[in-house]
Amino acid sequence: MPKTQKKWYDGLPNAAQYAREEKQEAKAREKDKEAKAQGTLIGRILEVPVADGYASYIVKEIDGNQVNLKHMKWGDGYNDHYFRGGGWFPKREVVRHFKETDAWEDFLDANAKKAKA
C-alpha cells in the first residue's frame, strides 16, 4: 500500500488499537503459513464464516485428542456457534476443518494458476 494512502481507521479515537490488531493479525498469518508448510496444527488460524466476516481462532496447544483454540478478536470479534470464545475441542473437529479449508484453498490456487497460463 502506498504510504500516502490512509487506513480505514485513521482519525478514529481507537486508531492505535486497530493498528496493533492489524500488526498482530499479520504476524499470526505468517505463522499460519509456516505451520501449514510444516504440517503442524500449532499456530494455524482456524476461521469460520460468521455474518459479514469471520470468527478467528489460533491453535495454541494440543493435548492428546484435544486442541486448545484461542479466540482472536480481530475486526468485529465474531464468535462461531460451536467454537464460541475458544477453549478445548476434539482434535478430530479441528483437523476436519483444516482438511476442508486447505483443500478448498488448494483448489482455488490451482485454478488461479490455470487462468494465468
> How far is the first Cα of the chain from the last one, in angstroms, to the nearest whole number?
27
* Global confidence as pTM: 0.84
Higher pLDDT, 19 or 28: 28
Domain count of the chain? 1
10 lies in some domain: no
The pLDDT, as a whole number, for residue 58 is 98
Mean pLDDT (whole number) for 3-24: 83
Give the whole-number percent of the chain exceeding pLDDT 70: 97
Residue 67 in contact with residue 61, Cβ under 8 Å?
A: yes
- Does some domain include residue 4? no
**Where in the sequence is the domain holding 69, given as residue range(s)?**
15-116
Task: Say if 49 falls within a structural domain.
Answer: yes
